[in-house]
Structure 1
């Protein structure tokens, strides 16, 4: 866009957008019903992401209202220095420019992720999946009305209604300036974007999150956090897929049997390694590649490990680098685990479901990155910026 939109204008657009979404609840849900009716897939996680109900609309409105209250992330001074020759040097935050968000089946991304990117001073290109086209186009209409009400050009938020072939061509040779791409979806989408993109990509990675239950743990707490992590929202990237149990746990048989009962209550399919073959409710693992899988389904793998070091090693080998938890009463063991596990978020005695921009105090998120550059974990408003050097002189030469 070439210029930074004033913060008062950005906030005004977001305020208008929150009001319009509230006023157009029925229209949005009606458009979403078309998407649901046309969706023929059997993917439970995708269907869960696709559906828009009153609660999801409440979430969209809340995310916009919270964004309005947050400080402007642009122009924040990160560093200052006075050179020996008298130059005044500053480093300040700046927008990326134009951000393309490519996503599957989640109409709320059209509001929440786009809202964060817009408040960060960026021009937004949205490329949603075909399964949510009716919902997305309705929401983009509201973006354009909001922009016009604030006397802002509608091209600050654009929707690319492209098929796969046109998307690939755009990634390889963009027809307009493009500074950053954020893919939000499964591994196939992420790999597609990484393969064809010619500008930086922030990978909003897969989950495949682990919970390690240490021998010195509160067993009821362990079961509660595992059940919450597995069943609260199967479509979430912060859901639990793997549980590692310390082989030296006291009353281990009772713990595992209780866990099985609770998982079966939610119709969770349970797989297990050879150490758990004595439990008839647990289906034996036939291929170790299952340890790499993110399920996004009512499915879980249980296994036994020797100790904390073994758990750390297994998690670092197989996990997606997203979230991992240790359940223990031993503070030293928790510190060893949390410092050594190579994940964006590590937990002690809590559910992995909190790896979320809202829950971790960011007021929302653009994505949850499993990359280590430039930001790891939930990417909030304050992270969706680059930086710029400002040097003030009075004729200095070198």
Structure 2
């Protein structure tokens, strides 16, 4: 793959900034076609589908942020000079061609493409059928920006395949694929892992947990819970499960207070057997499998834990490995929790809603990886490169 100079990449991004602003009305009009065709039976997906002036401004800002970042390609990672005279440099390099499969969110068409392109990768965008008009218009904008700077449209391609066609493509791709990022639920991830012939980087489910330790500041805790649960229910970093230490002072009264607070925010509160003794009017969970589920809805579970170790065990058993929070005034307990919880992001006294590229200082993100290879957490510009070794010699042979 040809390596592009930073200057030409940034010129494309500047063109894209201008085009997004110029084509604002056309983008919103295309999105209206998608919204009008959507049945609204999935409120979280509908929320993610919406493109308005604020969303277009966000797209423009994402491109600006990536344009301002250092080119991640050909950066030295390490160097070693051997006694035999070999000079070995490890440097960053593009993956090659990345395919991302995602649903609903047209802004991914901007964020994924801008990151892949700046990191010198080609990208295949397999958006959901519910956003087809929005995505076509946005990719047309990309192609115009590329053409204005003398580059081929193949750098950024929209794929409009159905499920069967996607399966066939994954099994026998018509072009070389180096990395696939399925950004969606467990069924999508399983589908891609089953059929893909190249590396797959998982952008997994949320199903995020919050544990209330026995010494937690209760007012602070309620504030964090409400934000994490209700701020944006369609986000993968939204809160789903709340575990409360059964040794929390005034346990029953605080349970009732939390229940009323969540109900006042239109959140349906399901409870485990222990909590149901206090919140007897709430729906009791009947199947433990629900602890594995990501809700993407105004719904949560409130359960108990028999202290810190029990909470850690439950979270590591059921969570999606995305984000977990402990509410405590005990710094040692917080550190133990953060060390032992197996999640991409662990928090002390803060909302899970901060697991986001922009909020974590990464900028635009391709996805939130719950994989452990090659990166975990927000996939920003630097994370869309791999590496290779440059070895310089003068006739050395191995003996």
Which range, TM-score by smaller chain?
A: over 0.9
Is the contact between residue 25 and residue 57 of structure 1 (CA under 8 Å) also seen in structure 2?
A: yes
SS of the counterpart of 1:71? Answer: coil
Per the alignment, residue 360 of structure 1 pairs with 360
SS of the counterpart of 1:234? Answer: coil
Provide the C-alpha distance between the structure 1 equivalents of 2:35 and 2:44, rounded to a whole number of angstroms. 13
* CA deviation after TM superposition for structure 1 residue 253, in Å: 2.3
Per the alignment, residue 103 of structure 1 pairs with 102
Greater mean deviation of Cα atoms: 168-177 or 35-44? 35-44
* CA deviation after TM superposition for structure 1 residue 109, in Å: 0.5
Per the alignment, residue 120 of structure 2 pairs with 121
| CA offsets 1:293-339 (integer angstroms, 9 cap, x no match) | 10000110001111000000000010001000000000111011110
Superposed counterparts of 1:142-157, under 5 Å: 142-157=141-156
Per the alignment, residue 323 of structure 1 pairs with 323
SS of the counterpart of 1:221? Answer: helix
| Large movers: runs of 4+ above 3 Å | none
SS of the counterpart of 2:200? Answer: coil
What is the TM-score of this pair, normalised by structure 1? 0.98
Provide the C-alpha distance between the structure 1 equivalents of 2:123 and 2:49, rounded to a whole number of angstroms. 21
SS of the counterpart of 2:321? Answer: coil
* CA deviation after TM superposition for structure 1 residue 254, in Å: 2.6
| CA offsets 1:76-133 (integer angstroms, 9 cap, x no match) | 1011111222121111000000001111111000001111111111011111110000
Greater mean deviation of Cα atoms: 128-137 or 37-46? 37-46
Per the alignment, residue 195 of structure 2 pairs with 196
Is the contact between residue 203 and residue 371 of structure 1 (CA under 8 Å) also seen in structure 2?
A: yes
| CA offsets 1:174-219 (integer angstroms, 9 cap, x no match) | 0011100111122221111111101001100001000000110110
Greater mean deviation of Cα atoms: 275-284 or 230-239? 275-284
Per the alignment, residue 292 of structure 1 pairs with 292
| CA offsets 1:140-170 (integer angstroms, 9 cap, x no match) | 0000000011111111111111111111111
Provide the C-alpha distance between the structure 2 equivalents of 1:121 and 1:68, rounded to a whole number of angstroms. 13
Provide the C-alpha distance between the structure 2 equivalents of 1:276 and 1:101, rounded to a whole number of angstroms. 41
Is the contact between residue 270 and residue 281 of structure 1 (CA under 8 Å) also seen in structure 2?
A: no
Is the contact between residue 86 and residue 393 of structure 1 (CA under 8 Å) also seen in structure 2?
A: yes
Per the alignment, residue 237 of structure 1 pairs with 236
Provide the C-alpha distance between the structure 2 equivalents of 1:324 and 1:282, rounded to a whole number of angstroms. 24
* CA deviation after TM superposition for structure 1 residue 41, in Å: 4.8
Per the alignment, residue 283 of structure 2 pairs with 283
SS of the counterpart of 1:158? Answer: strand
Is the contact between residue 240 and residue 352 of structure 1 (CA under 8 Å) also seen in structure 2?
A: yes
* CA deviation after TM superposition for structure 1 residue 383, in Å: 1.1
Is the contact between residue 117 and residue 124 of structure 1 (CA under 8 Å) also seen in structure 2?
A: yes
SS of the counterpart of 2:315? Answer: helix
Pairwise CA RMSD of aligned residues? 1.0
Per the alignment, residue 214 of structure 2 pairs with 215
Q: What number of residue pairs does the alignment pair up?
A: 397
Superposed counterparts of 1:1-398, under 5 Å: 2-277=1-276, 278-398=278-398
Provide the C-alpha distance between the structure 2 equivalents of 1:97 and 1:90, rounded to a whole number of angstroms. 20
Is the contact between residue 218 and residue 327 of structure 1 (CA under 8 Å) also seen in structure 2?
A: yes
Provide the C-alpha distance between the structure 2 equivalents of 1:185 and 1:327, rounded to a whole number of angstroms. 29
SS of the counterpart of 1:210? Answer: strand
Provide the C-alpha distance between the structure 1 equivalents of 2:273 and 2:317, rounded to a whole number of angstroms. 19
Unaligned runs of 5+ in 1: none
Unaligned runs of 5+ in 2: none
Provide the C-alpha distance between the structure 2 equivalents of 1:18 and 1:261, rounded to a whole number of angstroms. 46
What is the TM-score of this pair, normalised by structure 2? 0.98
* CA deviation after TM superposition for structure 1 residue 282, in Å: 2.0
* CA deviation after TM superposition for structure 1 residue 281, in Å: 4.2
SS of the counterpart of 1:386? Answer: strand
| CA offsets 1:325-381 (integer angstroms, 9 cap, x no match) | 000000111011110111110000000000011111101211111111000111111
Provide the C-alpha distance between the structure 2 equivalents of 1:317 and 1:64, rounded to a whole number of angstroms. 38
